[in-house]
Amino acid sequence: MFKVLLVDDEVFVRKGLLELIPWEQLNYTITGEAENGKEALQLMERLQPDLVITDIRMPIVDGLELIRNVKEHNECNPAFVIISGYDDFKYAQQAMRYGVHDYILKPIDEEEMVSTLRKLSYTMSAMPMTLPSHRMLEALVHEEHGEQAERYAAALGLEKAAGFVYVVLHLHGATDDKLTSIKQLQDALQSITSATFPVMEQRLGEVGILLRLDWLRQYGSDQMQALAKLRDQLTRRLGMSVSLYAGEGVNRLSELRRSYTSANEAAKHKYAENREVILFEQIKNQPLYVFDMSQELCQELIMHVEEGNRTEYYAAALSMFRQFQEQRFAPQAVASALSRCFGGIQAVIKEMGGMDERLQHVQELAERDYLLWSLKLLQEHVLSALEEADDYIAQLRKEQQKGDIHRIKKYIDAHYCDNISLKSIAARFYMNAVYLGRLFRKSYGVYFNEYVLTLRVQEAKRLLRQTDLRIYEIAARIGIPNADYFVTQFEKLERLTPTEYRNKLLVERERGDQ
């Protein structure tokens, strides 16, 4: 890896660069930091960096003075990249005279910086032969290297190849714990084809392969058949579903960037075509839909999940996936549609007091790069996520009902002496009276009227023991305005009339006094 020294008097700029740029992926490592030119000169003697990234305006020794000093007096001969907040032609002109590789204005654009560092990495490599094959392939597809292409071809053993095609390979469902490495893929390719092909990872689960057109012609009657055959064998060998997207064929490696760009364009049509092998030639004149999905369909799906109507939300989801294909949705448009739907479902769950963490499939769709999946695999995961959300919402609703019935019971316990009824309480808690009666009996094993009567009789017994209130007064106190009805219900539960209960207490007390 190439050693890098960062020089800037603003610490947040240095820390920002450290976090912003994927240094190791670009074949660099940060070996030191300095806040001015003087400190940088001292560090350079010890660190011997290959690249110095420096600001211009700094205290003590500025950036241009640092570069001049190194060029004239220092044995170390690193490459220089200037980052500056000053768009001044004189600065740039002087920097170029010192042989500075590039002059980048602040605020730093990540893509510009990465492109600059990638080009410089190739330049600083003494010969293409010193690079691993995936780095050579990366150099060919990211930059125009006409003058180096022949050397790359020789280094890759492709100098006699008659044409090339770049193919993007998607490993559906690849995860951190089931990651197919570059070496595993190369071994699989070599085992299947008895040939070696340069391979590079574009991102997790997405790999680029450089294939020779003459080999493809021998492997199948046409390019589609050859790639379909290769795809089937890779799927079996790797133990996971694989899709291939082929770019334009090119005659020379110096033109490979065009094949790389068109292969990645073909991959964008994966949901519109819903096929495992797609050639750029098949889709190059086909437009993609890049706008939002119908809001009505999304709202319909959310409503059916909230209602727990599995038949209806399945139908809505399948309709949505048909729309993805028929209207030729781009992957990002698919992602936007799913994000809106599942965002709405998550909002429903939060309103009900639920937690997103309980939804494994929904979380997976939110966190993973599912756009590498096939349409079939994505549909399976979405339907599983909808079922999971449906089950969780049903569970939350039961818990809510349980909480509701507990609140209702507390209300009854506090107001049983009032003129309450099943109908009045159902109205108070916005429930159906019949449903409330069933829910109360299911929750507490007793009918609502029996429970209220038990509470009232228990209170009547307390009043009979502790007061000399008349029977009709006690009846009124416990919420039964009809004294005769009170007597009848009391006797039904206690096998005694209220008067007999009170007299029995007096007799027992007299016996106790004797």
DSSP secondary structure of 368-391: S-GGGS-HHHHHHHHHHHHHHHHH
491: CB partners within 8 A, 6+ apart: 497
The three state secondary structure string of 398-465 is HHHHHHHHHHHHHHHHHHCCCCCCHHHHHHHCCCCHHHHHHHHHHHHCCCHHHHHHHHHHHHHHHHHH
Q: Cis peptide leading into 107, omega within 30 of 0?
A: yes
- Whole-structure pTM value: 0.60
What residues are paired with 289 via a beta bridge? 329
CATH architecture designation of domain 422-513: Orthogonal Bundle (1.10)
Cβ count near 7 (within 10 Å): 28
Amino acid at 86: Y
Residues of the chain under the 70 pLDDT cut: 74-75, 87-93, 95-96, 125-131, 143-148, 173-181, 356, 358, 366-369, 403, 512-514
Helix (H, G, I), strand (E, B) or coil at 348: helix
Maximum Cα–Cα distance across the chain: 125
Looking at residue 61, its pLDDT comes to: 81
Distance (Å, rounded) from C-alpha 98 to C-alpha 427?
A: 86
Distance (Å, rounded) from C-alpha 449 to C-alpha 430?
A: 19
Looking at residue 177, its pLDDT comes to: 43
Q: Write down the CATH number for the domain with range 2-124.
A: 3.40.50.2300
First to last CA, the chain: 106
Distance (Å, rounded) from C-alpha 168 to C-alpha 208?
A: 5
Distance (Å, rounded) from C-alpha 26 to C-alpha 449?
A: 77
What residues are paired with 448 via a beta bridge? none
Q: List the domain boundaries for the chain.
A: 2-124, 129-283, 295-395, 422-513
pLDDT tens track for 279-329: 999 999 999 998 888 888 899 999 999 889 999 999 999 999 999 999 999
Looking at residue 453, its pLDDT comes to: 94
In the sheet where 79-84 sits, what is the strand order? 28-34, 2-7, 51-54, 79-84, 102-105
Distance (Å, rounded) from C-alpha 307 to C-alpha 487?
A: 47
Q: Write down the CATH number for the domain with range 129-283.
A: 3.30.70.270
The closest alpha carbon to 451, from 436, 432, 465, 466, belongs to 436
489-494-498 Cα angle (round to 5):
70
Tell me whether the CATH fold assigned to 2-124 matches the one assigned to 129-283.
Answer: no
- How big is the chain, counted in residues? 514
